[in-house]
Amino acid sequence: MIEVIWLIIALPLLGAVFLHFFGRYIKEPWSGWLASGAIASSFVVALVAAIPFFQGGEHGSTVLLWEWMPAIGANLEMLWDPLAAFMAMVVTGVGALIHVFAIGYMRGDERFSRFFTYLNLFAASMLTLVLAGNYAMLFLGWELVGLCSYLLIGFWFVRPSAASAAKKAFIVNRIGDFGFLIALMLIFAAFGTLSYAGVFERAGAELTTGMATAIALLLFAGAVGKSAQIPLYVWLPDAMEGPAPVSALIHAATMVTAGIYLIARSAAIFELSPAAQTIVATVGALTALWAATIAISQRDIKKVLAYSTISQLGYMVLAVGTTAYFAGLFHLMTHAFFKALLFLGAGSVIHAMNGEQDMAKMGGLFKKMRVTGITMGIATLAIAGIPPLGGFWSKDEILASVFERGGWFSVLWVIGLVTALITGFYMTRLFMLIFLGKPRWDGGVDPHESPRVMTVPLIVLAVLSTIGGLTNTPIRLTLESFLEPSFELISVGQPPENVLILVVVSLLSVLAGAAGILAAWLTYRRPPQDWQRLEEGLQPIWGIWEDAYGVDDIYGRVLVAPGKRAADATAFGFDVPIIDGAVNGVARLVRDFGAWVRPLQTGYVRNYGALFLGGAVVVVIWLVVAGV
Amino acid sequence: MIEITTPEVSWIAILPELVLALGAVGVLLVEVQWKPATRVLGAISAITLVIAIFFTFLQWAQAGDALEVGGLDELVAFSGMIVMDGFAVFGRFVLLVMAGLGLLAGWRLVERLNRRGAEAIALVLLATTGFSIMVASNNLVMMFLGLEIGSISLYILAGLTEEKTKADEAAMKYFLLGSFASAIFIYGVALLYAGTGQLEILAIRQFFTEFIVTRPAVILIGLALIIVGLGFKVSAAPFHSWAPDVYQGAPSGVVGYMAAMAKIAGFLAMARILLTAVPQLDDSWLPVIAGISALSMLVGSTIALVQSDVRRLLAYSGVAHAGFILTGIVGGATTGMLFYVTVYAIQLIGAFAVVAVVSGPSSSGSSIDEYRGLARRSPALGAAFAVLLLGMAGLPLTSGFVAKFGVFSEAWANGYGWLVIVALLASVISFAFYLRVIVAMYMDETEEEGIVVSLAARWVLTIAVAGTVLAGILPAPLIDLAADAFSL
């Protein structure tokens, strides 16, 4: 089966190519079904190819499709190991459900086929990223998902906000990618190859701590951009301009987790640098808290979910920084389920409300949309960490592992605990504002449950959110034994062995989540005037949160404006006179040179003969002088 | 009674050339006797080429066997005149494939020439014969004979049009200057013989391993003249001045073929002489070849910048490419050079096939204005030309990138870092003029109508584009083949 794993990438790629050329000839729902079929088949291939890993102990292997530049280890090769299989299954599985949902969500859009072309292209790129067997190919996938993200955020590009959000996402990611690129150069300088096999085997013996720290932190810079951590998270909230399925697929379940995957994949390098690990974990914890507080006061349903995603990604980064790779990847999976569900549910709600995204104008939707309501309710409890739902097990494992590490990490554990409380609060607020209470709709809106094609993916994701956590409970560590071979040589952070400590720590995080839920429940079950007064009573902090700490403003003033001024200055103060001057100068030089040699190019044979002879004389003299 | 023993003749060593010569004569005879449709002559030449290519496969297998079980001496045939090593067989194979592509690309010209079309076909086959002998010869005089058979055929081809045009001037110039270069080459051979007493390449190498020459001046002058002569054939600076005029004046149907053949044979012969015969003298010739290489790259790419005629642009780009390929010889290895020559020859024939389509197969000159808006007029043609030009420029994922990477890394490994830096600079400059053509094709508007592309030209372009992309994405098989094709 391993020989055909290239199909996992090829199927969605073929779908994208086919739809690009023939999409316009295919009637509306069918291009969506075709794209969904492509990625679903790719899921089946991944599942079948992963069978050896389910039995445990299998290490996987590298499949060389063809050599491109063997000299620098940049070949088209795929590493099919448990980690790659795990990522591939999450991407294709959740991806397929979101594809199906989008068939209903995008109904009637003029560029229906084009949307699925991009979705399939994204899937192929993301799979290239996770299945790559070397850093060069990973970088290729990394950049391609960035491109697809750009295309899909700006899918409704006639809206200026969508177009500028797409640009913002692309440019902010460029900052992180710059670090990533330098990391690749350092890796090549240190090992002479970019191939995983070459790098990881020799990392322990050949990397100095300083070099390992440099590479690790530069790789992390890439992860910070892609996985929306402080300080580069600002693109993700804006990216919500894209259609809801895009937010679910790219900005919740898959692409944004690429940074976590990158760190997990490079565990052999991070292991050599405790300093880098501490920095990674700290950034993750701070991001988790920072974004959670912003999520409290947002009124736009997708903005809440965006900040919530940043916060949850913070948890995952905290986990991989603590070397709790299994916990981090576990949370990556459960988060993919419940956050995709939340985004799709939000899409269903927005769909029903004719595009309204302001939660203040919702309320009482539960009666109108039972399926959406129930499934989103499950997701809310899951993300808040209520047992036995998915989020409980994975978040708990992260916090327990962080606690076990001790020292500075104890502080991070407290931050994580506080974040869990806030998470319970803002998610319950979201659920209650949308579904409970009295309707606060604008006139003319008639909410209705979404069609089957949208609700079925919701139900499937709700089931996955419910039972997904059972794949890795302290009683039965299925996922861990699945992933184990990929991290055999790495010391992985684990939850406390002592059962009593484990139970206490778990209880604390459940209590935190429950306290958040209870607080929100007590606040938002009252009439709107009451909680609105409360929110206003919390000024100015509420306003600061609502304004996302004004970071966009600060960046605008501190970075963008001076950047523009600097660009102006370089453009007109340096580029025009110096660079253009040099270019024009060179051009003039070349022209003069051309004019100078033109007399030689007379067209007369005698002149050519003379030139030829002159050259011959020079060569003869040179060779003889050099040789004798 | 005197017993005369006829020497054992290893016919297989020259079978491809024999087939080619027979094919050429056959085409002429059939033409005289039956005056058939050109299609029939095309079929004869195609069969000839296919049989010749088949024999190169046999030779390749035999060379491989000899390598494994020993008996490398058996690969030297005809009393040391011809070698059948992998290097020769690889060169032959590439020449034969290019001959096929060249005929396809020039097919419209052959048709237009009517009854003289047979001459064109025969000349293409004869030129291939000559250059094929040249790459397979172990004897410098033999090499000269091959060079002349090939070159004289090309001189005639350069003037072969149905009307009196600038082609006559181009042919005459090419002939006069080419003869000059040939004379210099053979003079160099004579001096080398004077210094070493040997004409056979393997014997010359033997000579230098056995003797230390205290006063090598005669030998070095001879070597210099050989370099000059071959430098002319591959249009390296400063021996390139004929190339722009000839490329511009000769009928566009044959220019790609002419340029490709002369380059392949010239570089292979140069590599064989420098790397097989006189590797001991590399202290002397390496700096000179590096100098010629650097000069070619700089002169070619800077003058190409200011050309307004696409053919002159391609001619100067050819000068730059000669410099790039020479970096491979400076690297002291043939793998990169063989790869580069092969992929560049395909690009060259493809590019001139486009020129022949755009300006007509017997035209002289091809102003860049004719290409404005080409991508709108004929999207496929424009895209094909763009791919070929990007391939020449060396964009990653095209064959040109892999080729450049190969020769540059060889030169770098051999301690010629400065040359690699010059080469990178020249590569950057060269992007500018290739992109100028692409910009003209894609950005400019045009009122002209679409161009009808003949079936033959479509085939050539499909093969050239596919080869350029494929060898860029999947270069390993061709690189392995080139690595196996080393000289005895």
Could you report the per-residue pLDDT of B273-289, keeping only the tens digit for each?
999 999 888 888 999 99
Q: Mean pLDDT, chain A, as a whole number?
A: 86
- Domain membership of residue A435 (yes or no) is yes
What is the pTM (predicted TM-score) of this model?
A: 0.78
d(CA B400, nearest CA chain A) in Å: 13
Residue A519 in contact with partner chain B when CB distance is under 8 A: no
pLDDT over 80 at B113, yes or no = yes
Q: If we measure between CA atoms, which residue out of A131, A130, A86 comes closest to residue A329? A: A86
pLDDT over 70 at A627, yes or no = no
pLDDT over 90 at B347, yes or no = yes
A535 and A542 Cβ atoms separated by less than 8 Å: yes
Length of chain B: 488
Do A495 and A532 share a structural domain? yes
- Rounded distance between C-alpha atoms, residue A459 and residue A215, angstroms: 43
Least confident span in A63-67, A214-218, A355-359, A398-402: A63-67
- Rounded distance between C-alpha atoms, residue A215 and residue A212, angstroms: 5
For B454, phi then psi, to 5°, come to -70, 160
Last residue of a domain, one of A508, A526, A546: A546
Residue of B nearest to A590 (CA): B302
- Rounded distance between C-alpha atoms, residue B447 and residue A441, angstroms: 57
Set of chain B residues whose Cβ sits within 8 Å of the Cβ of A609: 176-177, 180
CB contact under 8 A, A619 and B285: no
- Domain membership of residue B5 (yes or no) is no
- Rounded distance between C-alpha atoms, residue A319 and residue A271, angstroms: 14
pLDDT value at position A529? 81
- Domain membership of residue B145 (yes or no) is yes
Residue of A nearest to B229 (CA): A616
Do A581 and A504 share a structural domain? no
Nearest to A591 among B238, B283, B306 (CB): B306
CB contact under 8 A, B177 and A70: no
Residue B172 in contact with partner chain A when CB distance is under 8 A: yes
- Domain membership of residue B6 (yes or no) is no
- Domain membership of residue A411 (yes or no) is yes
Do A524 and A436 share a structural domain? yes
What number is the average pLDDT over the span A259-270?
92
Length of chain A: 628
Q: What is the DSSP letter of A492?
A: P
- Domain membership of residue A467 (yes or no) is yes
- Domain membership of residue A539 (yes or no) is yes
Residue B270 in contact with partner chain A when CB distance is under 8 A: no
Do A558 and A495 share a structural domain? no
Do A526 and A378 share a structural domain? yes
- Domain membership of residue A439 (yes or no) is yes
Set of chain B residues whose Cβ sits within 8 Å of the Cβ of A601: 241, 244-245
pLDDT value at position A598? 61
CA distances from B385 to B108, B316, B376 (A): 19, 17, 13
Residues 6+ apart with CB under 8 A from B17: B129, B132, B133, B136
Do A601 and A475 share a structural domain? no
Do A436 and A521 share a structural domain? yes
Last residue of a domain, one of A514, A531, A546: A546
What number is the average pLDDT over the span A444-457?
83
pLDDT over 90 at B17, yes or no = yes
- Domain membership of residue B386 (yes or no) is yes
Domain count, chain B: 1
Q: If we measure between CA atoms, which residue out of B156, B79, B66, B54 comes closest to residue B113? A: B156
- Domain membership of residue A540 (yes or no) is yes
pLDDT value at position B165? 66
pLDDT over 70 at B47, yes or no = yes
pLDDT over 90 at B429, yes or no = no
Q: Looking at this predicted complex, what is its ipTM?
A: 0.84
pLDDT over 80 at B63, yes or no = yes
Q: Return the residue in A67, A596, A618, A623 with the most chain B beta carbons within 10 A, the one to mutate for interface testing.
A: A623
| For chain B, percent of residues with pLDDT exceeding 90 | 57
pLDDT value at position A218? 93
pLDDT value at position B249? 86
Residue A596 in contact with partner chain B when CB distance is under 8 A: no
* Residue A57, burial from CB neighbour count under 10 angstroms (0-12, 13-18, 19+): exposed
**What domain range includes position A489?**
336-546
CB contact under 8 A, B217 and A624: yes
Set of chain A residues whose Cβ sits within 8 Å of the Cβ of B405: 69, 71
Domain count, chain A: 2
Do A462 and A375 share a structural domain? yes
Residue B288 in contact with partner chain A when CB distance is under 8 A: yes
CB atoms within 10 A of CB A5: 26
Do A562 and A520 share a structural domain? no
pLDDT value at position A602? 66
Question: What region does B448 belong to: left with phi over 0, alpha with psi -120 to 50, or beta?
Answer: beta
pLDDT over 70 at A599, yes or no = no
pLDDT-derived band at A563, boundaries 50, 70, 90? confident
| Stronger pLDDT, A367 or A587, i.e. the higher one | A367
**What domain range includes position B17?**
11-487
CB contact under 8 A, B224 and A619: yes
B24 and B125 Cβ atoms separated by less than 8 Å: yes
Do A540 and A423 share a structural domain? yes
Q: Return the residue in A65, A75, A620 with the most chain B beta carbons within 10 A, the one to mutate for interface testing.
A: A620
Q: If we measure between CA atoms, which residue out of A345, A307, A336, A540 comes closest to residue A426? A: A307
pLDDT value at position A590? 66
- Rounded distance between C-alpha atoms, residue A262 and residue B338, angstroms: 40
Set of chain B residues whose Cβ sits within 8 Å of the Cβ of A624: 217, 220-221, 224
Last residue of a domain, one of A530, A546, A562: A546
Do A472 and A592 share a structural domain? no
Paired strand residues for B137: B82
Set of chain A residues whose Cβ sits within 8 Å of the Cβ of B309: none
Do A583 and A487 share a structural domain? no
Residue B477 in contact with partner chain A when CB distance is under 8 A: no
